Amino acid sequence: MDSRMQLIAIAPTTTGGVGTELLAGAAATTILGIIPILQKCDLRELHVVNKGTTTHATAFVVNFRKRVTAGTATGDSSMGTITRRTPATSTQGQDFYQRPTTAITLQPGQEVVVVLDTANGDAVTIQAGILVEPMPEDPGNITAQKNITS
């Protein structure tokens, strides 16, 4: 049985994005989306779906960063970057993905932020997400999880 799950980035209200619609034409270094980690899991793939029709020669570069503590960039690290392929050609509807070359485990209380390293030359909308393999564990063993019913 395949237990992999897709986790989709949600746009913070400060970026102009709405829900899962992320703006790859924003200013570089903008956090386009946030994915909260609620269960221990292994990262399998990074994904960016281009929803725009841009043919601009400057292509977006999206960086997926692991934040060891949600809400702070202290100690964060890149898990990989995705660049829109074939600049000057429309890639609308295409899913660009990357598989990590080393094992990356995500823990509850961490988050993944989707950061725009290079803005697309035209305003374009993307969706970003990750594919993970859950690693069920007793919540009592995870210090970032607190059982509020006991």
Could you tell me what percentage of the chain is helix, strand and coil, using 3-state DSSP and rounding each to the nearest 5? Answer: 5, 40, 55
Q: Which 8-state DSSP code applies to residue 115?
A: E
**pLDDT score, position 37:** 92
Nearest-angstrom CA–CA distance, 79 and 45: 10
pLDDT at 123 over 80: no
* DSSP-assigned states of every residue in 29-83: T-EEEEEE--S-EEEEEEEEEE-S----SS--EEEEEEESSTT--TT-EEEEEEE
What digits encode the pLDDT tens for the residues 25-69?
767 678 888 999 988 899 999 999 888 777 777 788 899 999 999
- Choice among 19-23, 48-52, 104-108, 132-136 with the minimum mean pLDDT: 19-23
**The model's pTM:** 0.85
Q: pLDDT tier at 124 (50, 70, 90 boundaries)?
A: confident
- Which residue has tokens 């386009």? 32
Nearest-angstrom CA–CA distance, 110 and 108: 5
**CA 58 from centroid of its chain's CA atoms:** 21
**pLDDT score, position 140:** 62
Neighbours of 88 (CB within 10 A): 11
Beta bridge partners of 26: none
Nearest-angstrom CA–CA distance, 33 and 53: 21
What digits encode the pLDDT tens for the residues 62-90?
999 999 999 898 999 999 999 877 667 77
pLDDT at 1 over 60: no
**pLDDT score, position 88:** 73
Nearest-angstrom CA–CA distance, 141 and 119: 41
15-19, 92-96, 121-125 — most confident range: 92-96
